[in-house]
Amino acid sequence: MLERRAGISDQKLVEAHGSFKSATCNCCSYQLDTSEASSIFWKLIEEDKVPGCPKCNSGLMKPDVVLFGESLPARFWDSQNDDLLKCDLVIVMGTSLMVQPFAGLPNRVRSTVPRLLFNDKAVGVFTKGVQQEIKDIELVTLPSTQNSSRDIAILGDIDTSVQKFLTLLNWTISDS
């Protein structure tokens, strides 16, 4: 829920793997807001108890996260075409780009859209003919086997790399 804590609005947020913001009963589909730290749901979890449904008293409450084998939320599928066609820049961070459908998302933007990777190593589309690779925020020009001058990989510790990148842009991070 880092995005929510950062203040990103629901309209701009696509939680592809769901969220711990709510939980749903497996019997009656009652949905409980669990976003408050004081939520009874989380108190029961901390006590190693399984939260029961407060409405029907027979079901169990499951956080609204996507588990292996479950479908991704409809919002993920509904919004990606429109969102990817509108974007001006793709930033990929901290991933192996091995699992579909996420691994294919950087390829779905217009061919003129720059793609920027912050990661410990080059992955996915960033392993084939990346024009520029940056290590410790020092630019290195690489031989290109494809026309991928729009791709830049910034490799190394992500937190450190992002901070250095923001400093180079003269941007500051607010603690508020």
Per residue of the chain (176 residues), what is the pLDDT tens digit?
A: 788 888 899 888 999 999 888 899 999 999 988 876 557 888 899 999 999 999 999 999 999 999 988 999 899 998 988 899 999 999 999 999 998 899 999 999 998 999 999 998 888 888 876 555 555 555 444 444 444 578 888 888 899 888 888 888 888 776 65
Is 170 tagged catalytic? no
> Cα 173 to the chain's mean position, in Å?
20
Residues 104 and 159 in one domain: yes
Question: How many domains in the chain?
Answer: 2
Query: What is the rounded distance in angstroms from the CA atom of residue 83 to the CA atom of residue 78?
Result: 9
Q: 105-137: string of b/e by CB count within 10 Å (b at 16+)?
A: bbeebeeebebbbbbeebbbbbeeebbbbbeee
Nearest-angstrom CA–CA distance, 50 and 66: 18
CB atoms closer than 10 angstroms to residue 34: 20
pLDDT at residue number 42 = 87
Q: What is the CATH number of the domain that holds 134?
A: 3.40.50.1220
CATH code at 6? Answer: 3.30.1600.10
Q: Which residue has the tokens 């190693």?
A: 48
Distance CA 52, CA 23 (A): 11
* Residue 136 structural domain: 88-168
Domain match, 45 and 106 both: no
Question: Is residue 8 included in any domain, yes or no?
Answer: yes
Please, which residues have CB within 8 angstroms of residue 153's CB and are 6 or more apart in sequence? 117, 119, 122, 126, 130, 132, 133, 134
Token code pair at residue 160 = 């450190």
Q: Which of 1, 3, 17, 166 is catalytic?
A: 17
C-alpha span between 57 and 60 (Å, rounded): 8
Asked if residue 44 and residue 103 are part of one domain, the reply reads no
- Measured CA to CA, the distance from residue 176 to residue 73 in angstroms comes to 31
Residue 102 in domain? yes
